[in-house]
Amino acid sequence: MKSKILVITLLLISFVCVSQNKYTINGYITNKNSGESLIGATVYETNSLKGVVSNSYGYFSLALPQGECLIICSYIGYITDTIKVVLSEKQNIDIQLSIHNISINEVVVSAKDYENILQTNEYKIEKLTIKNIRQLPILFGEADLVKAIQMQSGVKTLGDGSSGMFIRGGSSDQNLILIDEAPIYNPSHMFGLLSVFTPDAINNVTLYKSNMPAQYGGRVAAVVDCKMKEGNLYKYGFSAGVNILSASLYANGPIVKGKSSFLISVRKSMFDLIFKPQYEGYRIVPGFYDINFKMNTKVGKKDRLFVSFYNGQDRVKAFDGFDNDWSNITSTIRWNRNLSTKLFSNMSFIYSNYTNNLQYIEGAQGYKWQTGVEDFNGKLDLSYFSSPNSTFKFGINCVYHKFIPGETVDTLQSIPRIQAYESAIYLLNDLKLFTWLGINYGLRFSIFQNTDNAKWFDYNEDYIPIKENTNSDGIYHTNYNFEPRISINLTISPKYSLKFAYARNAQYMQVLQNTSLSYTSLETWFPANTNIDPIIVDVISGGWFQKLNTKYFVSAELYYKDYKNQIDYIGHAKLTDNQYIEAEVRKGTARAYGCELVIKKQNGKLTGSISYSYSRAFRKIKDINNNIEYSSPFDIPHDFRILANYKITKKWFVSSLWLFTSGRPVTLPIGYYKDESESIPIYSDRNEARFPNYHRLDVSVNYTTKPEKKKIYWDFGFGVYNLYAHENPIGYENTGTTISSQTFLDFMPNISIKATF
């Protein structure tokens, strides 16, 4: 009852703000040189100090009192623009910002970044531009978005080469990874060495850790919202690069100058072009490619159309007939429309298809296994800018999923296909109640319906299948959840704010994967159904954020997460080729908590950050570990990082990262016994052992010939991953009598060359 009264009160306050007599200024904020939208740019009026931030499409709407006013528009790395306006009616103003000369060297960032963190009502988000990402020490000479996210405080990895992101105690499948709104189900290339995000094609990425706003859903840990570049509206640009792992080509430019543009990016691994798998030589040869394409066009003053496409594929072949390929295909059609000066709409149709095929030919027999998930997604998002202090967002989303949980040559062992609708409606309000108090609150209602042709089993208490059920048409099982989200921002002073947040998140699909392995591509996306319930997570967070001066920013955060219906696998669970796969899974509870301390310096020749986090994650699952709570595979308590970038001259730039984390939990043998001719391992409790502490130092030196006016410039990069060659095991192999460590990347120098014209 109390919560209802609170919601009604907040809504009334919001509409009071709407009812005042004001005129609206709206428009897009774009890069003056390229015409691309600037997301998160600040627009505010100097007298009233009312301001807004441009949305994901660069759109803003600001209602101001009648009369003369001075509008200031700023964005990190761009020259602030001041516009004088006499308001007597609503006005459409498109603002173009020029890149700041100093920021050409990608080091100096405006202190506005800190202010945005302090002022936004959304709980802690990390925004990374491709420029930020390129500043970080890189692996194999390739800047990588996922590796950049992995360097953020609170984000854990499972070791060298892993592209998994384990955010605040969550597993990697609990992250919603989007590229232009389309979900990516497997973001890794080459066993996790790289991610599928081609740096040339990426504009920026926003990371929400735990407390995501109500427009996001379907995952319980985090959101990685990646936006592709749009392509230059005014001039053509090309670049070509090569490093020890891949070669890439990039082109963009206008289709109709000032109105429509395109972008195309292609990246291909080199290794598989040169080598073939053979017994004497490279026994395993991996390869991959990526294709990104995007075009957009303005249709009149109010409409804008975007088409994005991504296709990436990996293939790993071995000399003995092993052949594994996995691919992501996504396509997004978006239509932006200003329905009025205050109402902005985005309608999207999204297609996503992830497939994973494995073949193994040995002797006279063969093995095939296929898994995947295909999505058809339609969504409508509306933003209503009711006043400078209040913005409503609401929308609806419906996805039709087609799951292939695992098919093999033996149809009896194949896991039956599953279809489902995943729908959601949401409403949120971003409200500035006072200059010192802001609130972002919302509610998401999600529903997941298993439908169409299906076969499933009922199990007894011993998980023995006792009945086979079938469905030929229509919905046969439904799960739904209300997901309230709220974050409160107390701006104690312009330099200092406190934030609190609560969210409930529901997740209806998850990956069944053997997390004890250092690498496996055998991951099966499996939906909630009659036997597996959706994961529900309640998370509370609190943080203190302070701008010490124009250079330094500090933050300290606490969080606690409570999981319901967390699953884990029984010992020797068979996660492939098992139509009774649900009998291998048990559900229970989990909890995660931690604190994160960060100090950042983003101005001057020396920039970087120092961060420390302490975090724990535990599970308590029926029939596992004798029903006693145990560490989750991502329970990595200590995490300490130092990131330092130093601009020597305008052309020379060095960066380094030192990383130290506790070892991750693992189940390892404590002894062996003899059974006839074999020695068999004896284990203690689940995840009781730990890997050694992980640490490494990466450095890179970058040189650019980037001039002010020349047509072609070159970027050279040289770096070393794990400079002091510390052996960080990625796994352990039972050799029969003991266990031997497996390492992956010890002292890995890399070099890259890129030409841009």
Q: Considering the complex, what minimum distance in angstroms separates the CB of residue 172 from other proteins?
A: 17
Q: Which is nearer to other proteins, 359 or 531 (CB)?
A: 359
Q: Which of 409, 425, 443, 447 binds other proteins (CB under 8 A)?
A: 409
206 token code pair: 């926003």
Which residues within the stretch 47-76 sit at the binding site for other proteins (CB under 8 A)? Answer: none
Which residues within the stretch 155-194 sit at the binding site for other proteins (CB under 8 A)? Answer: none
559 token code pair: 């969080």
Size of the site for other proteins (CB under 8 A): 77
The answer to whether residue 569 forms part of the interface with other proteins (CB under 8 A) is: yes
Q: Which is nearer to other proteins, 205 or 511 (CB)?
A: 511
Which residues within the stretch 711-730 sit at the binding site for other proteins (CB under 8 A)? Answer: 724-729
426 token code pair: 């949401």
Q: Which is nearer to other proteins, 172 or 576 (CB)?
A: 576
Contact (CB, 8 A) for 372 and 354:
yes
The answer to whether residue 734 forms part of the interface with other proteins (CB under 8 A) is: yes
Distance CA 747, CA 372 (A): 36
Q: Which of 43, 575, 583, 643 binds other proteins (CB under 8 A)?
A: 575
Q: Which of 274, 412, 708, 710 binds other proteins (CB under 8 A)?
A: 412
Q: Considering the complex, what minimum distance in angstroms separates the CB of residue 661 from other proteins?
A: 13
Q: Which of 396, 517, 648, 712 binds other proteins (CB under 8 A)?
A: 517
Q: Considering the complex, what minimum distance in angstroms separates the CB of residue 279 from other proteins?
A: 16
Q: Considering the complex, what minimum distance in angstroms separates the CB of residue 681 from other proteins?
A: 6
Phi, psi (deg, nearest 5) at residue 661: -135, 155
Contact (CB, 8 A) for 317 and 281:
no
228 token code pair: 């592709």
The answer to whether residue 697 forms part of the interface with other proteins (CB under 8 A) is: yes
Q: Considering the complex, what minimum distance in angstroms separates the CB of residue 368 from other proteins?
A: 9
DSSP states of 485-505: EEEEEEEEETTEEEEEEEEEE
Contact (CB, 8 A) for 322 and 316:
yes
Q: Which of 68, 303, 623, 733 binds other proteins (CB under 8 A)?
A: 733
Q: Which of 549, 738, 751, 753 binds other proteins (CB under 8 A)?
A: 738
One symbol per residue from 578 to 617: x for binding other proteins (CB under 8 A), - otherwise; what is it? -x--------------------------------------
Contact (CB, 8 A) for 563 and 536:
yes
Q: Considering the complex, what minimum distance in angstroms separates the CB of residue 601 from other proteins?
A: 11
3 state DSSP class of 11: helix
Which residues within the stretch 121-140 sit at the binding site for other proteins (CB under 8 A)? Answer: none
Q: Which is nearer to other proteins, 572 or 709 (CB)?
A: 572
Q: Considering the complex, what minimum distance in angstroms separates the CB of residue 462 from other proteins?
A: 12
Distant-in-sequence, close-in-space partners of 719: CB < 8 Å, separation ≥ 6:
137, 138, 141, 698, 699, 700, 701, 749, 750, 751
Q: Which is nearer to other proteins, 303 or 410 (CB)?
A: 410
Distance CA 706, CA 653 (A): 13
The answer to whether residue 637 forms part of the interface with other proteins (CB under 8 A) is: no
Q: Which is nearer to other proteins, 287 or 395 (CB)?
A: 287
The answer to whether residue 462 forms part of the interface with other proteins (CB under 8 A) is: no
Q: Considering the complex, what minimum distance in angstroms separates the CB of residue 735 from other proteins?
A: 9
The answer to whether residue 2 forms part of the interface with other proteins (CB under 8 A) is: no
Residue 400 CB-half CA count within 13 A:
7
Where do we find the tokens 């007894």?
Answer: 460
The answer to whether residue 743 forms part of the interface with other proteins (CB under 8 A) is: yes
The answer to whether residue 45 forms part of the interface with other proteins (CB under 8 A) is: no
491 token code pair: 């701006």
Q: Which is nearer to other proteins, 237 or 669 (CB)?
A: 669
Q: Which of 319, 335, 445, 519 binds other proteins (CB under 8 A)?
A: 519
Which residues within the stretch 329-368 sit at the binding site for other proteins (CB under 8 A)? Answer: 360, 362-367
**Cβ count near 81 (within 10 Å):** 18
The answer to whether residue 516 forms part of the interface with other proteins (CB under 8 A) is: yes
Contact (CB, 8 A) for 193 and 187:
no
Q: Which is nearer to other proteins, 550 or 693 (CB)?
A: 693
Contact (CB, 8 A) for 586 and 579:
no
Strands 322-338 and 343-362: antiparallel
The answer to whether residue 461 forms part of the interface with other proteins (CB under 8 A) is: no
Q: Which is nearer to other proteins, 46 or 742 (CB)?
A: 742
Distance CA 49, CA 26 (A): 17
Which residues within the stretch 661-690 sit at the binding site for other proteins (CB under 8 A)? Answer: 663, 667-686, 688-690
Q: Where are the beta strands (DSSP E) in 124-259?
A: 125-129, 155-156, 166-167, 175-179, 182-183, 188-189, 194-195, 202-209, 222-228, 237-243, 246-256
Q: Which is nearer to other proteins, 676 or 708 (CB)?
A: 676
Which residues within the stretch 87-116 sit at the binding site for other proteins (CB under 8 A)? Answer: none
Distance CA 305, CA 346 (A): 10
The answer to whether residue 279 forms part of the interface with other proteins (CB under 8 A) is: no
Q: Considering the complex, what minimum distance in angstroms separates the CB of residue 280 from other proteins?
A: 17
3 state DSSP class of 444: strand
Q: Considering the complex, what minimum distance in angstroms separates the CB of residue 740 from other proteins?
A: 8
Per DSSP, the chain holds a count of helices (H) and strands (E) of 5, 50
Q: Considering the complex, what minimum distance in angstroms separates the CB of residue 667 from other proteins?
A: 5
Q: Considering the complex, what minimum distance in angstroms separates the CB of residue 142 from other proteins?
A: 25
Distant-in-sequence, close-in-space partners of 451: CB < 8 Å, separation ≥ 6:
419, 420, 421, 471, 474, 475, 476
The answer to whether residue 410 forms part of the interface with other proteins (CB under 8 A) is: yes
377 token code pair: 């997604």
The answer to whether residue 642 forms part of the interface with other proteins (CB under 8 A) is: yes
Q: Which of 281, 627, 741, 747 binds other proteins (CB under 8 A)?
A: 741
Q: Which of 340, 471, 520, 589 binds other proteins (CB under 8 A)?
A: 520
Question: Of 405, 412, 422, 356, which is closest to residue 582 (Cα–Cα)?
Answer: 405
Distance CA 597, CA 618 (A): 22
User: Which of the ranges 334-342, 501-509, 529-537, 571-579 carries the binding residues for other proteins, by CB under 8 A?
Assistant: 571-579
Q: Which amino acid is at 75?
A: Y
User: Which of the ranges 83-91, 250-258, 531-539, 732-740 carries the binding residues for other proteins, by CB under 8 A?
Assistant: 732-740
Distance CA 308, CA 299 (A): 17
Question: Of 356, 441, 328, 439, which is closest to residue 394 (Cα–Cα)?
Answer: 441
DSSP state of 715: E
The answer to whether residue 434 forms part of the interface with other proteins (CB under 8 A) is: no
Phi, psi (deg, nearest 5) at residue 90: -65, 145
Where do we find the tokens 């409503």?
Answer: 392
Q: Which of 574, 587, 616, 706 binds other proteins (CB under 8 A)?
A: 574
